[in-house]
Amino acid sequence: MKIDPKTDLVERKSEYSHQFGAKNHAGGAPGPSMVACAGPNPHRPVMTIALQTIIQSVLERAPHWIRHDFASKDASVRQRAEETLAAMIANALEGDGRAGDHG
């Protein structure tokens, strides 16, 4: 992990970005390493420390059933877990945005 002190951004490279050139097999759609892209070079994944903290907090509080369902062989069960976790992260990000408006 590399932190740029000027922009307060965290840059991470996943193993997928090296394997797939930051693109997936389906014709160039962003791969897993492109989830939180921003900054001057959109081909490099970056994430603010605040955003990383919010997401890490949600992941730490995730119910056990979500963790269990991610390992399921049933695609619909995995999808339910993904959608639930995405909603939890979105809710946390919205809450953080509202808190920032008051301060």
**Burial of residue 45, with CB atoms counted within 10 A of its CB: 0-12 exposed, 13-18 middle, 19 or more buried:** buried
pLDDT at position 43 is 59
Q: Tell me the residue range of the domain where 29 lies.
A: 1-49
Task: Please identify, among 49, 73, 88, the residue that sits at the C-terminal boundary of a domain.
Answer: 49
Give a three-class secondary structure readout of 13-77. CCHHHHHHCCECCCCCCECHHHCCECCCCCCCEEEEHHHHHHHHHHHHHCCHHHHHHHCCCCHHH
Helices 49-61, 75-102: axis angle to 10 degrees equals 130
Low-confidence ranges of the chain (pLDDT < 70): 1-45, 97-103
Count of domains for the chain = 2
Residues 67, 96: one domain?
Answer: yes
Asked if residue 57 belongs to a domain, the reply is no
Instruction: Kindly report, residue by residue over 11-25, the tens digit of the pLDDT.
Output: 554 444 444 444 444
pTM listed for this prediction:
0.51
What is the per-residue pLDDT for 36? 46
